[in-house]
Amino acid sequence: MQVTNEIYREVVEKGFEINSSDARLIKNFVEKEDIVIKPLNEKYERFSKELVILYPQLDKGKCEIISLCLQENEGVLAIDEHEGRLVTKLYKIRPIGSLRILLESYKKNILNEKELSETLDEMLKNKFRLSGDVINEFWNIFEKIKGRKNG
């Protein structure tokens, strides 16, 4: 997985300022090189700046990460915000959300059930907005995955 300097700054550096648990998690992944900080080349740096102008509802980090996906020819991007997901689709990049990443992490034995539950609880405590329906659907899907893993 790759991120830009701006995404690292937004998630990790600003995250430490508000004591966000995902800031520590991402920093650890970067230190272990499971996540690589990748600079944009000149062409995609310009493109990122154009995206900021074209889509003022997106912050600099989201514009950079969309540009990085295009630069690296990545077809999938982890992004939760509605506007970002819409823009991502315009550039033929498939958006996936944090909840999908949690489920995939459980399926691949990166997280166990307790860690998954604690991570979701932490997300909700940190103002990650999810409706009751979405949370229920998440746990329903989790139970199906858990049943397949144990069955």
Determine the pLDDT at residue 127.
66
Of these ranges, 71-75, 110-114, 118-122, 125-129, the one predicted with the greatest mean pLDDT is 71-75
pLDDT, mean of residues 94-114:
90
Identify the pLDDT of residue 18: 85
CB 2 within 8 A of CB 36: yes
* Pairwise CA distance, residues 112 & 102, whole Å: 10
The proportion of the chain whose per-residue pLDDT surpasses 90, expressed as a percent, equals 56
pTM (2 decimals)? 0.78
